[in-house]
């Protein structure tokens, strides 16, 4: 009771409140006191606890119900106030936007507009379209539009939709790559498909005669014209290519070959069409992208472009072939700058100058650029000139050679830098590289060869070809093929090759293969002797095939490449038709092109 009284005094005392009001900031408080004890005075049981909790929960429930009811009342009040305010705003808006009275002449204006409406080609023209749309939009925006008859309202709205749809269609049409933009038949087909598909004229409008319809019709008409012009361009270029190919693959350069080659080149200068001229049938429209298509458009299609590139290649090859044939004297032309006679003529420096003037880019005259059978003719005449030039150089060098000995040949190497000889080397190098772009300078090759003191020989085997007509009965191997290297002083070093398997018939010849008994590596020094021998028989007769002849007595490397002799006890005879071929992988020194033989009388 004392605690309740003291708390009640506190609630009733205004001075104890700091907010300046006699009321509590959270409302009123109903104070009730309970005497409770956790342990009773006379027992261990609690006193008054259950009653306290029961009354507290009941009081809390009543407070929650009062708070919920107050919240609902507050929301209802706010909603009522908002509804009233909205009703006031709506009334004000209706009063403010009340439509003005309709123009009594609107129906007559719309009807007059419809009666005087021109065809689609005029009313949808670019210059008339904005004005017509403004007039229709003004009708639609008139306050009395909704009071018009349905037919007039449908007319105005339909024409406005048509204008919007037409503008959209025309914009899509103008963004489409037109036939003049195509660069292949595939692009032309795609353009045609779009024009006849998604850009076909809509069926619900009559747009015949409009600028969009005219442009679309023109493009559809241009497509087959471009196909035809493209085919004609391609056919013309292919005709030129075929003529050039026929002349390039000719078996001879005599007669009318040069005149025909000139005629093909001259014909190519006369184009079948004026590139800037319009293709017949292609009309021109007075609007953007409505120009007539020209032959130049068709000439830029990919197939025509490729055909023109093929012609450029064929023309260049035919031109260079003609120049090379002229230079080698295979045509009636007077320019024979690659023809080196056996004797006489210009000095080599002048020949080089003439060749540089006739062919600034020597790679264009390479034999590998040209097909058969003409290449064989060119190669034969080129090698003939190379042979004549080489023989002239060898005669010059042979005059300087004092003896057929290693020492004399080494001294000869020191004379190869003389200007006159160097000019011949440059000329022959130029000719050799027309056949082999990697050909070495023959003088440098000769100098290195003459200064070499030891050569390696490593034969992996041979194929021996014996004609059946050599003797009757046929000549057959009867022993081992031997190679003997004999120093000037000392014993011969011999390696042997045994016959492998049976001979294989090739027409009127038989081919035998020989493989080494053991590794067939030899060292050869200039001046050593070198001989190849093979025992053979013809029936009961015994012979020896001997390869013992060569160009010099100092370098015997060419023995095996020459025709051997058939040697018997009674003498020797040429073994005509017998040929020895070295197997792949072999190492055998080769005599340089310009290696001279000793001049007669020395």
CB-CB neighbours of 428 under 10 Å: 24
Which of 460, 464, 471, 558 is CA-nearest to residue 518? 460
Residue that has been written with the tokens 């106030």 in this structure: 81
pLDDT in tens, 368-424: 999 999 999 999 999 999 999 999 999 999 999 999 999 999 999 999 999 989 999
pTM: 0.69
pLDDT value, residue 12: 75
502 three-state secondary structure: strand
Helices 129-141, 150-175: crossing angle, 10 deg rounding: 140
pLDDT in tens, 451-469: 999 999 999 999 999 999 9
pLDDT in tens, 166-225: 999 999 999 999 999 999 999 999 999 999 999 999 999 999 999 999 999 999 999 999
Task: Give me 479's structure tokens.
Answer: 């022993």
Partnered with residue 496 across adjacent β-strands are 482
**pLDDT of 285 above 90:** yes
> 129-143: string of b/e by CB count within 10 Å (b at 16+)?
beebeeebeebbebe
**pLDDT of 98 above 60:** no
From CA 499, how far away is CA 481, in angstroms rounded?
A: 8
Give the pLDDT band (50/70/90) at residue 101. very low
Compute CA distances 589 → 513, 516, 522, whole Å.
Answer: 21, 18, 11
pLDDT in tens, 501-510: 889 999 999 9
Cβ-Cβ contacts under 8 Å for 416 (sequence gap 6 or more): 397, 422, 425, 443, 446, 447
Q: How far is CA 192 from the centre of its chain?
A: 28
Which of 157, 158, 149, 147 is CA-nearest to residue 111? 149
């Amino acid at each position: 009771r004392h605690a309740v009284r003291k708390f009640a005094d506190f609630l009733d005392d205004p001075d104890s409140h700091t907010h300046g009001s006699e009321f509590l900031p959270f409302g009123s408080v109903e104070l009730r006191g309970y005497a409770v004890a956790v342990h009773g005075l006379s027992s261990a049981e609690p006193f008054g606890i259950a009653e306290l909790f029961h009354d507290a929960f009941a009081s809390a429930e009543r407070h929650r119900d009062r708070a919920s009811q107050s919240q609902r009342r507050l929301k209802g009040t706010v909603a009522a106030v908002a509804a009233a305010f909205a009703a006031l705003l709506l009334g004000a808006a209706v009063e403010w936007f009340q439509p003005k009275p309709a123009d009594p002449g609107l129906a007559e204006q719309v009807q007059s507009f419809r009666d005087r409406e021109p065809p689609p080609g005029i009313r949808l023209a670019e210059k008339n379209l904005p004005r017509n749309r403004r007039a229709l939009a003004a009708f639609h925006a008139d306050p009395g539009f909704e009071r018009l008859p349905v037919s007039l309202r449908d007319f105005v709205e339909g024409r406005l939709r048509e204008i919007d749809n037409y503008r959209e269609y025309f914009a899509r049409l103008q963004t489409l790559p037109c036939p003049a933009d195509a660069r292949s038949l595939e692009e032309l087909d795609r353009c045609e498909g779009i024009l006849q598909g998604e850009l076909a004229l809509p069926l619900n409008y009559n747009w015949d005669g409009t600028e969009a319809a005219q442009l679309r019709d023109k493009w559809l008409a241009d497509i087959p014209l471009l196909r035809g012009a493209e085919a004609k361009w391609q056919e013309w270029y292919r005709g030129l290519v075929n003529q050039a190919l026929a002349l390039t693959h000719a078996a001879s350069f005599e007669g009318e070959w040069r005149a025909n080659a000139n005629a093909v080149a001259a014909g190519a200068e006369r184009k079948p069409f004026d590139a800037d001229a319009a293709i017949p049938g292609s009309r021109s429209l007075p609007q953007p992208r409505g120009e007539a298509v020209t032959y130049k458009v068709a000439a830029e299609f990919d197939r025509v472009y490729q055909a023109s590139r093929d012609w450029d290649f064929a023309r260049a090859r035919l031109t260079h072939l003609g120049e090379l044939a002229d230079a080698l004297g295979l045509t009636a032309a007077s320019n024979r700058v690659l023809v080196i006679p056996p004797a006489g003529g210009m000095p080599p420096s002048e020949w080089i100058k003439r060749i540089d003037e006739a062919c600034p880019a020597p790679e264009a005259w390479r034999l590998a650029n040209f097909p058969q059978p003409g290449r064989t003719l060119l190669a034969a005449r080129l090698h003939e000139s190379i042979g004549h030039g080489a023989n002239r150089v060898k005669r010059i060098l042979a005059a300087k050679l004092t003896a057929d000995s290693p020492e004399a040949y080494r001294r000869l190497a020191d004379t190869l830098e003389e200007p006159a000889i160097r000019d011949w080397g440059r000329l022959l190098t130029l000719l050799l590289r027309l056949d082999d772009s990697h050909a070495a300078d023959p003088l440098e090759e000769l100098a290195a060869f003459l200064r070499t003191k030891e050569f390696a020989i490593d034969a992996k085997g041979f194929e021996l070809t014996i004609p059946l007509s050599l003797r009757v009965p046929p000549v057959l191997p009867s022993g081992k093929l031997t190679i003997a290297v004999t120093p000037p002083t000392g014993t011969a070093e011999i390696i042997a090759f045994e016959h492998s398997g049976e001979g294989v018939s090739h027409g009127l010849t038989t081919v035998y293969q020989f493989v080494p008994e053991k590794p067939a590596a030899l060292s050869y020094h200039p001046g050593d002797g070198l001989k190849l021998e093979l025992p053979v028989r013809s029936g009961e007769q015994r012979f020896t095939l001997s390869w013992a002849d060569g160009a010099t007595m100092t370098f015997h490397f060419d023995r095996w490449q020459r025709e051997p002799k058939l040697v018997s006890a009674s003498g020797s005879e040429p073994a005509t038709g017998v040929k020895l071929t070295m197997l792949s992988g072999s190492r055998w020194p080769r005599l340089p092109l310009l290696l001279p033989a000793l001049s007669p009388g020395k």
